[in-house]
């Protein structure tokens, strides 16, 4: 599902450097990514999803070489094939919870919208305990509720790849376990790959494998 070779990345005017000589993640694997703050966990997710451009090295995701795509093409690829939970949620504040969940269908003509999709969004929201909040402006939701909306949005397209950046970071223990159950079960039921950044070492044994950012060459110049 994901293959990285000789990847090097740096932000402009920053001492941060990320080097990944080799990384392979198979289809249907569930992977936890751990590391200290600033070690490149979010950057790695953004590179394998095409949020950030690959300028040095090779990143192939879902049989697509990302270095050969411009920004609009990477965006189209991401909407069709990847469900993402961003650390800052990236919800649109002027939309309801339901419309935020359905947003990928509103902005990608490659995704076919219909009654079954709307029902799937409602079913996901019900699983997350959000059924009474679907018509509420997301600005009126708590941090934990917004996080669950973001997880629903990542799952609603039933993508082959899920990339989640601290998807349980703002949740209480009961909701944390419940949301993680849903992510893992959804991935395993559909044979999807799940890559999750987390600081919670108590959940690592629930994943097939753990990647530690110190395994890669990260340096501060």
Band (41; pLDDT cuts 50, 70, 90)? very high
Burial pattern 148-184, b for ≥16 Cβ within 10 A else e, equals: bbbbbbbbbbebbbbbbbbbbbbbeeebbebbbebbb
Confidence of residue 219 (pLDDT cuts 50, 70, 90): low
Provide the pLDDT for residue 199: 92
Residue range 55-63: mean pLDDT, rounded? 96
Residue 220 confidence (pLDDT):
52
CA distance 23 to 16: 20
Q: For the domain 2-220, what is the CATH superfamily, name and number?
A: P-loop containing nucleotide triphosphate hydrolases (3.40.50.300)
Other CB atoms within a 10 A radius of the CB of residue 138 amount to 21
Whole-angstrom distance, CA of residue 30 vs CA of residue 208: 5
> pLDDT tens digit string along 107-117?
999 999 999 99
Residue 21 token pair: 């000589």
Phi first, then psi, for residue 159 (nearest 5°) are -75, 160
Structure confidence at residue 159 (pLDDT) = 98
User: To the nearest 5 percent, what fractions of the chain are helix, strand and coil?
Assistant: 40, 25, 35
In whole numbers, what is the pLDDT of the chain averaged over residues? 95
Distance CA 102, CA 149 (A): 10
pLDDT above 90 (res 68): no
* Residue in 101, 67, 84 with CA at minimum distance from that of residue 197: 84
* Domain extent listing, the chain: 2-220
Q: What is the mean pLDDT of residues 94-105?
A: 97
Distance separating alpha carbons of residues 65 and 92, to the nearest angstrom: 30
* Percent share of the chain, pLDDT over 70: 98
Q: Is residue 221 predicted with pLDDT exceeding 70? A: no
Residue 215: predicted pLDDT? 84
Question: 32: burial class by Cβ within 10 Å (0-12, 13-18, 19+)?
Answer: buried
């Amino acid at each position: 599902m994901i293959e990285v070779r000789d990847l090097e990345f740096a932000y402009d005017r920053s001492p941060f450097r990320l080097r990944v000589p080799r990384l392979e993640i198979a289809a249907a694997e569930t992977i936890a990514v751990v590391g200290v703050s600033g070690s490149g966990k979010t950057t790695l997710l953004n590179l394998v999803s095409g949020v950030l451009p690959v300028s040095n090295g090779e990143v192939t995701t879902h049989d697509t070489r990302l270095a050969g795509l411009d920004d609009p093409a990477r965006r189209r690829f991401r909407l069709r094939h990847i469900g993402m939970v961003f650390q800052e949620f990236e919800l649109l504040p002027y939309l309801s919870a339901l419309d935020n969940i359905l947003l990928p269908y509103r902005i990608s003509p490659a995704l076919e919208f219909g009654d079954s999709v709307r029902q799937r969004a409602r079913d996901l929201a019900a699983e997350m305990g959000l059924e009474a909040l679907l018509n509420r402006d997301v600005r009126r939701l708590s941090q934990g509720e917004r996080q669950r909306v973001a997880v629903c949005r990542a799952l609603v397209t039933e993508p082959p790849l899920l990339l989640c950046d601290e998807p349980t970071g703002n949740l209480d223990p009961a909701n944390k376990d419940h949301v993680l159950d849903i992510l893992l079960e959804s991935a395993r039921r559909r044979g999807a790959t799940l890559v999750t950044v987390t600081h919670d070492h108590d959940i690592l044994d629930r994943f097939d494998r753990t990647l530690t950012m110190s395994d890669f060459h990260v340096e501060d110049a």
